Amino acid sequence: MIGIVDYGMGNLFSVSKGLERLGAESFISDDPKELSKSTGIILPGVGSFRDAMSLLEKQGLDDFLKEYVAGGGYLLGICLGMQLLFDESEENGPAQGLSLIPGKVVRFKGEDVSGKGYKVPHMGWNRIEFKQTSPVTEGLEAEHVYFVHSYFADTGDAYIMASATYDVEVPAIVAKGNVFGMQFHPEKSGQLGMSLLRNYLSLVEGKEKA
């Protein structure tokens, strides 16, 4: 059973419908006690990093998520939810994150090295390239996925499973141990997005059966 974290800033319906299409059971909750029963957790998010962290902290979900991961639970952050996995963000900041993956969330400059401007946010379909193997990318080939974001993670190569190019290298899928993040919206990203979610579910189910 997948728990979807409700802290007031996530596109919960979109994620839950995506899981439903895959035949997965899920529930939405803001209660750490309920979420602790999950075999895996998804942390969605749309909006401001600082506001999101404030809401997580107010509900005690920040400490819960850290404890859940420390206990071996699988966590997947989507869009803003992925950014919250890092140490801090410069959005309305600096603001501290969950520190589950080392790195800082920074804004696209909106201007390349030649001084030519480009659109921010990074919005629409963009191709990702796999950088290294990961349980969530196993058996999949590079394809286009759907992004909507003005900030991206500045993190070490060791944590980048896949990236896209939008003036700079944009970490698209990150991982550290049992923590995963997707900067794009997998539930809106066609066959590849659904396959990535299916791999995450298989990983969670494998732990449940072990």
Residue tagged active-site, from 138, 149, 187, 208 = 187
- Our answer to whether residue 79 is catalytic in this structure is yes
Question: Contact, 29 vs 203, CB < 8 A?
Answer: no
187 carries an active-site annotation: yes
Contact 173, 137 (CB under 8 A): yes
- Rounded CA-CA distance 105/91 in Å is 8
Residue of 20, 185, 205, 208 marked catalytic: 185
Q: Which of 79, 88, 122, 149 is catalytic?
A: 79
185 is catalytic: yes
Catalytic residue annotation:
79, 185, 187
